[in-house]
């Protein structure tokens, strides 16, 4: 099946995901199907809640092929790094956010093997971002009150332009 990526406003993005007890065929299929959805959206990471599934799993690819992490946890972090972060669930917007520069992440792969990764910069950022999704946390939650207010009003503006665009395109069939 092909997955639709849920966007800000969808309540599924705000729920806490549950641990995966059994890495069975359904979990493997789900991860396998999330990868093309991530590529199609030109993302480098995609968490299960973003396709409407409340499970602790995400897929990612930072140029070394697709990987899946199950029940991931960050057990250590260090440093500070400011980075302009985007999110497939908040398309068209990005924010400079400061987070730890390095993290140590543990979890399991699709075969059930224990994984332990010391990540820095982009990969560390990706891990923290995807972990947030598993907790129901989105980019906008990292902004201060004024930034958040401005971001949400811009989001509503983008959404209304998008809705108008779709309505217009329906009858006109533009190239
Ligand atoms: Ni995201």
Cα separation, 121 vs 143, in Å, equals: 20
Task: Work out how many domains the chain is built from and give that number.
Answer: 1
Burial class (CB in 10 A: 0-12, 13-18, 19+), 145: exposed
pLDDT, tens digit, 9 for 90 and up, residues 23-63: 999 999 999 999 999 999 999 999 999 999 999 999 999 99
Cα separation, 136 vs 103, in Å, equals: 20
- Kindly give the distance from the C-alpha atom of residue 82 to the centroid of ligand 1, in angstroms, as a whole number: 17
* Predicted local confidence at residue 2, as pLDDT: 86
As a whole number, mean pLDDT of residues 15-20 equals 98
Instruction: Say which residue the tokens 């792969």 belong to.
Output: 109
| Residue 137 clears pLDDT 60, i.e. is over it | yes
| Residue 101 within any structural domain of the chain | yes
Count CB atoms within 10 A of the CB of residue 166: 9
- Kindly give the distance from the C-alpha atom of residue 167 to the centroid of ligand 1, in angstroms, as a whole number: 27
- Kindly give the distance from the C-alpha atom of residue 59 to the centroid of ligand 1, in angstroms, as a whole number: 11
As a whole number, mean pLDDT of residues 64-82 equals 98
Q: Which uninterrupted H or E stretch holds 152?
A: helix 145-172
Q: Is 16 noted as a catalytic residue in this protein?
A: no
| Residue 79 within any structural domain of the chain | yes
| Residue 116 within any structural domain of the chain | yes
| Residue 107 within any structural domain of the chain | yes
- Kindly give the distance from the C-alpha atom of residue 96 to the centroid of ligand 1, in angstroms, as a whole number: 14
- Kindly give the distance from the C-alpha atom of residue 45 to the centroid of ligand 1, in angstroms, as a whole number: 7
Angle at 64 between CA 62 and CA 68, to 5 degrees: 75
| Residue 175 within any structural domain of the chain | no
Residue 86 domain boundaries: 11-163
| Residue 105 within any structural domain of the chain | yes
Burial class (CB in 10 A: 0-12, 13-18, 19+), 8: buried
* Structure-token pair, residue 34: 């999330």
| Residue 146 clears pLDDT 60, i.e. is over it | yes
| Residue 118 within any structural domain of the chain | yes
Query: Which of 151, 7, 4 is CA-nearest to residue 89?
Result: 7
The active-site residue out of 130, 135, 157, 166 is 130
| Residue 34 within any structural domain of the chain | yes
**Which CATH number fits the domain that encloses residue 87?**
3.90.45.10
């Amino acid at each position: 099946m092909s997955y639709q990526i849920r966007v800000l406003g969808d309540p599924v993005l705000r729920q806490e995901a549950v641990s995966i007890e059994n890495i069975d065929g359904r979990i493997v299929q789900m991860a396998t199907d999330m990868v093309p959805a991530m590529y199609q959206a030109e993302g480098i990471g995609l968490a299960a809640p973003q396709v409407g599934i409340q499970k602790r799993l995400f897929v990612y690819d930072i140029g070394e092929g697709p990987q899946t992490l199950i029940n991931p946890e960050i057990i250590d972090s260090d440093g500070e790094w400011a980075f302009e972060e985007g999110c497939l669930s908040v398309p068209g917007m990005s924010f400079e956010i400061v987070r730890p520069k390095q993290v140590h992440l543990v979890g399991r792969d699709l075969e059930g093997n224990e994984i332990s990764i010391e990540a820095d910069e982009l990969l560390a950022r990706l891990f923290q971002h995807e972990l947030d999704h598993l907790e129901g946390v989105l980019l906008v939650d990292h902004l201060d009150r004024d930034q958040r207010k401005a971001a949400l009003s811009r989001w509503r503006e983008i959404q209304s332009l998008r809705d108008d665009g779709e309505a217009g395109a329906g009858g006109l069939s533009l190239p």
